[in-house]
Amino acid sequence: MREIRNIVAFDCGNSSIRVILGRFDGEHIEPTLVHQVEQKEIEINGLFYWDILYIFSELQKGLQAAYRECGRIDSAGICTWGIDFGMIGGQGQLISNPLCYRNSLGGRVLQRLSPDERRQMFDLTGIHNHQMNSLYQLKAYQEEFPEQLAAVKGILLIPDLLAYLFTGVRAGERTIASTTQYYSVIDKDYSKAVLEKFSLEPTLFPPLIENGAVIGEIKPEIANSLKINTFPFICVPSHDTACAAAAAPAAEGDFAFISSGTWNLIGTELAKPIVNDDVYASGLANEGGVFNTITLLKNSAGMFIIQRIRSEMAASGKKLSWDEIVAMAVSAGDDTLLFDPNDGSLYNPASMTEAIRMLFTKTGQNASCSLEEVIRSVYESLAQSYKYVLDGIEKITGKTYESIHIIGGGSKNGFLNQLAADATGKRVYAGPSEATGLGNIGVQIASAFTGRDKLKEIRRIIRQSVHTEEYLPCTVNHADKYKRYLELMGK
């Protein structure tokens, strides 16, 4: 009987902090969610922050829970959302809580760039300009809080910061670095040209290490405090999208994926970045993928829209489960309104429901529609956005993807999965819902492989370990709905 490896995956997203224990017997992974708590940004004096010490504390609770389950932890890996960062002073201490990307600070910097400068930034880095990118946030921080930035001796992205708190080692990882716009996927390193252009010292950023390498051991004092054994932290793809994509249980060589969560990351996996006019015009990004692959994708609006509507309903005294939310959408019928889910007015509005109604008014639709119709319009519009992005990716890559792998928490929404199949005309495979955690665990497992294609082995193991649901497109012609969606987008 093979010895079981007990592997811990930290999966920190915008809406929850999750700790997953994976038991690996040599062929199968048995994942168990051992700890989960809510995660949300905190507003202070008009700015949104993340409570990094709360996150760190909850991850420690997760380690204790994992240890109680298995009695020994063999390794751990950390992945989180992208872009946001913490700052370290000369004595190695945190200077402040990290700012949240939903602030408007970065937009002020981006607005000052000319069209030529924006294109130059894309050509240098491979990713699209966005106000939330780390570069623009950091530059805005430099302008708004110069006294704090003067004391900064290190910039660590959120997963790198958490690894530093656990191990005391400062190290960077390429998939998360690729979300910053001061890293180049072309050069696979920090962009000297970008850092020079924005007057940022290269010494602020940690050295980059490879997926599968050991970052460092958990600090003995932390292990002793938690009453657990010591173990190494492994450098996994620390951007949650890259971890999720690694877990797509695809047997085919070319495939499309949608990592469905707070954001929808709609894309495909490539060996090399594509940096040209078409990619730039489409708003796609070449982000880093596992083992130096590239994920050509669109960072598109996701379940954040419906999460906010659900929260607004709860605040008014109507708390509903996700199944009840879907039932409301189903009751609205198929003749629904549509909108662009990536419209800037939906980025972080005071009321998501009212912001959508204002979009209806703006596009000449019925803003006095029922709440059920608003919810249905969210799901329908998301499905149409999938088709729009995937059509663009197929044109750019010159490939046709017969199927879509929908992975992550949103893959549990069977109603939306069917809408996606219908809208795109493609077969949809839904699952695993724990894609980020499984990708994290898979890379930790593969760190011990030699002489094998590590990514193929990870996906083979995951196919053997999980069940996926299949959705076939219905035979009804959805071309009219898509045509209306394009018209509303001005395409």
DSSP designation for 53: H
Q: How confident is the model at residue 150 (pLDDT cuts 50, 70, 90)?
A: confident
Q: According to the model, what pLDDT value does residue 478 have?
A: 76
pLDDT, average across residues 203-229: 98
Could you read off the pLDDT of 240-282 as tens digits, one per residue? Answer: 999 999 999 998 788 999 999 888 999 999 999 999 999 999 9
Confidence of residue 221 (pLDDT cuts 50, 70, 90): very high
Instruction: Yes or no: say if 455 and 436 are a contact pair by the CB < 8 Å rule.
Output: no
User: What average pLDDT does this structure show over 150-169?
Assistant: 97
What per-residue confidence (pLDDT) applies to 335?
82
d(CA 181, CA 170): 20
Amino acid 241: pLDDT: 94
Same fold, 5-234 and 248-431+449-491: yes
Assign domain 248-431+449-491 to its CATH superfamily.
Answer: ATPase, nucleotide binding domain (3.30.420.40)
Per DSSP, which regions of 177-293 are E strands?
Answer: 183-184, 189-190, 208-209, 214-217, 232-234, 256-260, 263-270, 285-288
- pLDDT tens digits, residue range 387-438? 999 999 999 999 999 999 999 989 999 999 999 999 999 999 999 999 999 9
User: Could you report the per-residue pLDDT of 10-48, keeping only the tens digit for each?
Assistant: 999 988 999 999 999 999 999 999 999 999 899 999 999
> For the chain, what is the mean pLDDT?
95
Q: How many CB atoms lie within 10 A of CB 151?
A: 13
pLDDT of amino acid 336: 85
| Structure confidence at residue 148 (pLDDT) | 85
Say if CB 339 and CB 359 are below 8 A apart. Answer: yes
pTM greater than 0.75: yes
Amino acid at residue number 2: R
Q: Which is the CATH superfamily of the domain at 5-234?
A: ATPase, nucleotide binding domain (3.30.420.40)
Cβ-based neighbour number of residue 437 at 10 Å: 30
Distances (CA, A) of 127 to 52, 226, 243, 273, 283: 27, 40, 18, 10, 8
pLDDT at 206: 98
Locate the domains of the chain by residue range.
5-234, 248-431+449-491
Share of the chain above pLDDT 70, in %: 99
Does residue 1 register a pLDDT over 60?
Answer: no
Task: Look at residue 250 and give its three-state secondary structure.
Answer: coil
Is a pLDDT exceeding 90 seen at residue 129?
A: yes
Tell me the pLDDT tens digit for each residue of 429-465: 999 999 999 999 999 999 988 777 999 999 999 999 9
